[in-house]
Amino acid sequence: MTQDADILIAGGGLNGPALALALAQAGLSVTVIDARPAPDRTEPGFDGRAYALAIASQRLLGMLGVWPAVGHRAQPILQIKASDGRAGERPAPFFLTFDHAEIEEGPMGFLLEDRFLYTAFRNAMAEDPRITLLSGETVVAQAVTATGASVTLASGASLSGKLLVGCDGRGSGTATRAGIGRSGWAYGQTALVTAIAHERPHHGIAHQYFMPAGPLAILPLPGNFSSIVWAEPDAQAAAIQALSDTDYLTALRPRFGDFLGDIALAGTRFTYPLSLSLANSFIAPRLALVGDAAHGVHPLAGQGLNLGLRDVAALAEVVTLAHRRGEDIGAPDVLNRYQHWRRFDATALALGMDAVNRLFSNDNPLLRLGRDLGLGAVNALPPLRRAFMRQAAGLTGDLPKLLQGKPI
């Protein structure tokens, strides 16, 4: 049976293109099905959406040949300060500070705007003859045979491959159609996301304030700009989002503080409801799930994309090695190896983020004292602090080759 491609990827966000590039490097043909329309030639404007890339993720982008196109646009994170706080008050005395000088790997990560990363992925895919990108298309049906998977697109076209990969987000249609259930819950929190211009330089420092209502992250962008991820209870967030820009800033100021001088809105205002959504299996016959389709996590500490890229690197490695030894790349043996590698790590991290958020989104004075002492203790112990930093940088665990900056 002839197939349209070795691998079909449903979803053209960031994980889909990253996986397509990694698999194409192994000589496999890939078709990416992206719901978004084909981009026009104008460079997208600044909208403030950005990712905190862990070092491991940056290494992966390097191995995929994407980093040279975006590296000069990225802001290195030189220090991370985490603290307990309440709006309008000074941060708790026990600041937890992570400085990149304490680990040998260089900066702790990078802030990179979505528009640059997405454009770089599109360009890299366009240059690779083994990748076909179908824009403005969605998968509406899928089927599995002994030797492959096939999908039907909204346009009526059908495609077949040896393996289907769902990179289609936490509402993953590929997972639902394969009968994979999900577990999870909503946090009752919504993240307000935008970009802020400020008077004084941020010196590459990222801040995470654990507020009773939810965490506020201030992440440095190039120049005197920062990206904020501001979590509030759903109703509160909806009310804040409905405010005028002036009133929005008035609500933000006491939380943001004045350490960067005066602040102004610099980007589009987005909201994202926060929820945990874990697929009950990461695989099904001829199907693998990647990124939020497998595990939608609390976006605390920006781990969503980094966790997705870990899946990408692991699946690319498993499939590449299987292909080189002549195995059927969509066989259950091969997919089991991917699930075995990723599922524990992803679930542990998702539940860890959940626990941290529950611990900190609380105004109980005893809990506050306890966690301030806890942060202080971590801060006082350099080895523990380095361990936290390596975890945040994505440098711990059984790392796939691409995340180590090595070829498969």
Partner 1 sequence: METASTIDPAEVAKFEAMAAEWWNPHGKFKPLHQMNPCRLDYITTQIAAEFDRDLAAPLPFAGLRILDIGCGGGLLSEPMARLGATVVGADAAPRNIPVARLHAEQSGLVIDYRHTTAEDLAAAGEQFDAVLNMEVVEHVADPLAYLTACQRLLRPGGLMVCSTLNRNAKSFAMAIVGAEWVMRWLPKGTHDWRKFITPDELYALIRQAGLDPVDRKGMVFNPVAWSWSLSDRDLSCNYVTASVKRG
DSSP codes, 258-278: STT-SEEE-S--EEEEEEEEE
> What is residue 354's three-state secondary structure?
helix
Is the sign of the CA dihedral 184, 172, 239, 357 positive or negative?
positive
Beta carbon of residue 104, minimum distance to partner 1 (angstroms, whole number): 28
- List, in sequence order, every beta strand (DSSP E) within 199-254: 205-210, 215-221, 225-233
Q: Which is nearer to partner 1, 209 or 338 (CB)?
A: 338
Q: Which is nearer to partner 1, 324 or 358 (CB)?
A: 324
Q: Given the complex with partner 1, which of 30 and 53 has the nearer CB atom?
A: 30
Neighbours of 281 (CB within 10 A): 17
| Smallest separation (angstroms) from partner 1 to the CB of 295 | 22
> CB of 293 within 8 A of CB of 172?
yes
In one-letter notation, the amino acid at residue 28 is L
- Diameter of the chain measured on Cα atoms: 67
- Rounded CA Rg of the chain: 21
* Nearer residue to partner 1 within complex by CB, 1 or 366: 1
Q: Determine contact, residues 228/252, Cβ cutoff 8 Å.
A: yes
Q: Nearest approach, Cβ of 159 to partner 1 (angstroms)? A: 17
In this complex, which beta carbon is closest to partner 1, that of residue 3 or of residue 275? 3
The helix/strand/coil state of 300 is helix
Instruction: State in angstroms the smallest separation of the CB of 171 from partner 1.
Output: 30
- Supply the minimum distance, in Å, between the C-beta of residue 400 and partner 1: 15
Q: For residue 78, what are the β-bridge partners?
A: none
Report DSSP letters for 92-131, one per residue.
PS--EEEEGGGSTTSSSEEEEEHHHHHHHHHHHHHH-TTE
By CB under 8 A, name the binding residues for partner 1. Answer: 1, 26-27, 146-147, 321-322, 324-328, 331-333, 336-337, 340
- Write the DSSP string, 34-59: ESSPPP-SSPPPP---EEEEEHHHHH
For residue 29, the minimal CB distance to partner 1 (Å) is: 10
CB closer to partner 1 out of 129 and 326: 326
* Shortest distance (Å) from residue 73 CB to partner 1: 32
Is the C-alpha dihedral spanning 379, 221, 354, 290 positive or negative? Answer: negative
By C-beta, is 146 or 366 nearer to partner 1? Answer: 146
DSSP one-letter code for 74: P
> Shortest approach of partner 1 to residue 407 CB, angstroms?
9
**Which residue number, 88 or 326, has a Cβ lying nearer to partner 1?**
326
Cβ 254 to partner 1, closest distance in Å?
51
With respect to partner 1, which residue has the nearer C-beta, 47 or 327? 327
Contact 407, 401 (CB under 8 A): yes
Q: In whole angstroms, how close is the CB of 347 to partner 1 at the nearest point?
A: 18
Cα angle, residue 171 at apex, residues 317 and 188 outer, rounded to 5°: 115
From residue 306, how far is each of 55, 65, 109, 300, 392 by CA, in Å? Answer: 9, 17, 11, 12, 10
- Which is nearer to partner 1, 164 or 205 (by Cβ)? 164
Residue 393 in tokens? 């940088």
H or E element at residue 251: helix 245-256
